[in-house]
A and B are shown apart, each in its own frame.
Chain A
């Protein structure tokens, strides 16, 4: 059932139920209640439907639903008061038409009493209406949070790649004897990577400069592992350094290029990273030797993960594409709005 249907059903049945109670009440309270007297109550109920619907339109139109409770309250009370008055006069008018009108309908006591009664009924209606919306919005934000958490977890999985860490440690173990100086450097590279992956959890965005430091450490580590099988070129335009990027996103993309591209080639190959500004957006191009197979597009390359992050962070302002540039090169293209610190 859609929300519109639910709204109209509750409107109709709610107000009819209200009318039924009023009529029943009339019978109980006054001994000379005539069936014809139910008429103005029913018309009143219909008027309630119309006026609350009108209230809903205004509330939507003027964005009252987004207001915090403290700002909403006065607006709500005033509108209820304004609505409560005509409702009563509709009843008086109807009574007049069907000939059950009596003078005491217009005594101050009666007028005030009925308006207050209407006020209470309308107060209940609006409270239910806003409560429903608050609950719904709360629900949505809960769902959002769950999605965020899950993504966070996924991100951790794909980015702190254990395979990489243990292979790196294994290389270092061998280096200790072969080239002690280099092994010390390697330990620094690895700890820098681990550190940035830990801080990455706490920040939504970091500067490209910081991210490139991680990427360089990562590449240094992989170069120790794969030796002459990897050749890297990095060109970062100076005006891109302060642009904000999601932490470890470039590192993940570079790692993908190595894991699915270069490491699969016996002779290895080249990897290049280029960043520049174009039409005031940041462009990152990662090229690696290898060839993309269609099947891998959605799974192996962690593409889904990256796209998800980009959508949450940049809505549809970001662009991400991975494709075969030619027969032996894969191009990963990333375009981000160039937000600066």
Chain B
């Protein structure tokens, strides 16, 4: 598993890397002292796991995550400010307190164990699929979301509402820009307003003006515009 260590203190990085030395499965591919260095290294090495300090000069750990399209697994490292992590829903979040207890580190790494390294060749233009994870921050709240859990995206002015579980946080992005990043196999641009996760589609009905009405698991109903309807039928049929 390729790991990247991000912390503004050299000694803190050194300490963690030394601890990680003990784990055969961990391959530390680099270390970064701030968000900008980290971005560069993430693009270069495409790591599976980030050890991330939250308080750093320049951009914070959260701001770094917001800049990433695909977010690898993240383990936060922090000295005391657990409160910063309260922003997260209880889901899939792990953090380590400094000085790091080797046993705790082992637990965290064991938990990651099942995640097999996706050794698919990483081209720069890789599109986001269902197995990819994204970081969503809306106000004080944060989520790590696997795209397979997102039912659909809805544009709202300069924002996109992301519908998953029972929440719909907003991110500052245009639906067109997002559409370009999502893989066509998994996501479909239904109309000017919506992108649908195809794996959630449960039923299709014809609608006015040659459009379609798509029913999603869970009961959401979305309209597919006439322009996109033919394309959609083609995608959904054999």
Chain A interface residues toward B at CB < 8 A: 162-163, 166-167, 169-175, 177-178, 224-227, 263-266, 268
Contact B57 A171 (CB under 8 A): no
Contact A226 B99 (CB under 8 A): no
**Which chain A residues lie closer than 8 Å to B80 at the CB level?**
162-163, 166
**Which chain B residues lie closer than 8 Å to A166 at the CB level?**
79-80, 97-99
State in angstroms the CA–CA spacing of A172 and B99 once bound together: 9
Q: In the complex where A167-B98, A174-B14 touch, is A264 in contact with B57 (Cβ < 8 A)?
A: yes
State in angstroms the CA–CA spacing of A195 and B106 once bound together: 34
Minimal beta-carbon separation of A256 from chain B (angstroms): 15
Give chain B interface residues in 102-152, CB to chain A under 8 Å. none
State in angstroms the CA–CA spacing of A163 and B11 once bound together: 16
Secondary structure at chain A's binding surface: helix, strand, loop or mixed?
helix
Minimal beta-carbon separation of B67 from chain A (angstroms): 16
Question: What 1/0 flags go to B74-98 for Cβ under 8 Å of A?
Answer: 0000011100000000000000011
Contact A266 B57 (CB under 8 A): yes
Count of chain B residues near A, Cβ 8 A: 20
Instruction: Give the A-B pair count, Cβ closer than 8 A.
Output: 58
**Which chain A residues lie closer than 8 Å to B79 at the CB level?**
162-163, 166-167, 170
Minimal beta-carbon separation of A25 from chain B (angstroms): 71
B218 within 8 A of A: no
Contact A167 B9 (CB under 8 A): yes
Minimal beta-carbon separation of B147 from chain A (angstroms): 33
Contact B11 A174 (CB under 8 A): yes
Give chain B interface residues in 1-46, CB to chain A under 8 Å. 8-12, 14-15, 18, 33-34
20 A-B pairs in the complex with CB atoms less than 8 angstroms apart: A162-B80, A163-B79, A163-B81, A167-B79, A169-B98, A170-B9, A170-B12, A170-B98, A171-B9, A171-B12, A171-B15, A172-B99, A173-B99, A174-B11, A174-B15, A224-B11, A226-B9, A263-B55, A265-B57, A266-B33
Q: Which 9 pairs, one residue from A and one from B, show the smallest C-beta to C-beta distance?
A: A174-B15, A174-B11, A166-B79, A170-B98, A170-B99, A163-B80, A167-B79, A171-B11, A173-B99
**Which chain B residues lie closer than 8 Å to A162 at the CB level?**
79-80
Minimal beta-carbon separation of A184 from chain B (angstroms): 15
State in angstroms the CA–CA spacing of A57 and B80 once bound together: 60
State in angstroms the CA–CA spacing of A226 and B100 once bound together: 19
Minimal beta-carbon separation of A73 from chain B (angstroms): 58
Minimal beta-carbon separation of B53 from chain A (angstroms): 10
Give 18 new A-B contacts, CB below 8 A, not counting A162-B80, A266-B57.
A167-B79, A167-B98, A169-B98, A169-B99, A170-B9, A170-B11, A170-B12, A170-B99, A170-B100, A171-B12, A174-B12, A174-B14, A178-B14, A226-B9, A263-B8, A263-B55, A264-B57, A266-B34
Contact B11 A266 (CB under 8 A): no
Minimal beta-carbon separation of B98 from chain A (angstroms): 4
B203 within 8 A of A: no
State in angstroms the CA–CA spacing of A162 and B83 once bound together: 13
**Which chain B residues lie closer than 8 Å to A170 at the CB level?**
9, 11-12, 15, 79, 98-100
